[in-house]
Structure 1
Amino acid sequence: MSRIPLPEFEELATTHVPFIGQLGIRVEQLDAGRCVIRIPFRDDFIRPGGTVSGPIQMALADIIMYGVVLSLIGRVELAVTTNLNCNFLRRPRPADLIGEGRILKLGKRLAVGEVLLYSEGEAEPVAHVTCTYSIPPQRG
């Protein structure tokens, strides 16, 4: 069971991170150590060549990892990305982009996870992302 309810995470992600709110994300699943988010396709996500731009893909992966981390530690707004590595595997077609993230290791100060991104309706991932989040020390 997630340590942050899905509606609370969705509100935090879209209101407190305005750029993410502009993307129109929809959190489809949030369980302990796992998160699935969709970005509905928009024409302004396309870069020359007819593919969904890399910054959109990386933004999706980053907010997914934020969800993964908060699902395990609860609402800690100052948990931040310290590293994000994205391998673009194939050209995402103009469609909704769906990402699924999971935790690989959760420590006291760092969390490491991975995200696979897919074009809606496609079985093969378009990107593989690894991400590290810094968890602030507990006060008190």
Structure 2
Amino acid sequence: MTNVMDKAALQDYLSKEFGPVGAALSIEEVTEQSVTLRLTPEQHHIRLGGTVSGPSLFMLADVGFFFAILARLGPVAMAVTTNASIDFMRKPDGAKPVLGECTVHKLGRTLAVGQVLMRNPGSDKVLAQASMTYAIPPKRD
């Protein structure tokens, strides 16, 4: 399936629709298989010990998967998270960005299911992985 929205369109949507939530996020890469979002941690994303907080990683996964769906379908404002599971495997260094590679494995009429792998740039080590399911609203004619 080809993408409906490219990197520039997704970045524009992120900037316009996500306000301060999206300030630390940027679209890194868009392919036919995935969308990669970059989280550049700000002070409020860091917890004691200098690591990126779990809620910040969850935000990266949730927003990133939403954008992977948008890339395929276009602006679907009411697509919502119905299930999410996240595994934290390594402590992310708060001084480094985190990339979330978001892949849609199944895109149906009412549900999208996929995965987000989070890594530091230039590293193959997975920091966290999330399994995501989104409900997609029915099309209105």
TM over 0.5: yes
What is the deviation of 1:2? 1.6
Unpaired segments ≥5 residues, structure 1:
none
Shift of 1:20: 2.8
Q: Whole-Å Cα distance in 1 between the matches of residues 35 and 21 of structure 2?
A: 15
- Residues paired across the two proteins, number: 139
Structure 2 spans left out of the alignment, 5+ residues:
none
Q: Percent identity?
A: 32
TM value normalised by structure 2: 0.89
The corresponding residue for 1:59 is 59
Structure 2 distance, partners of 1:130, 1:19, is 25
- Aligned equivalent of 1:14: 15
- Structure 2 equivalent of residue 139 of structure 1: 140
Give the equivalent residue in structure 2 for 1:41: 41
Aligned match of 1:90: 90
Which 4+ runs in 1 deviate beyond 3 A?
none
CA distance in 1, matches of 2:84, 2:122: 26
Deviates more, 1:5-14 or 1:73-82: 5-14
Residue 19 of structure 1, CA deviation: 3.9
* Deviation for aligned residue 1:104: 1.1
TM, length-normalised to structure 1: 0.90
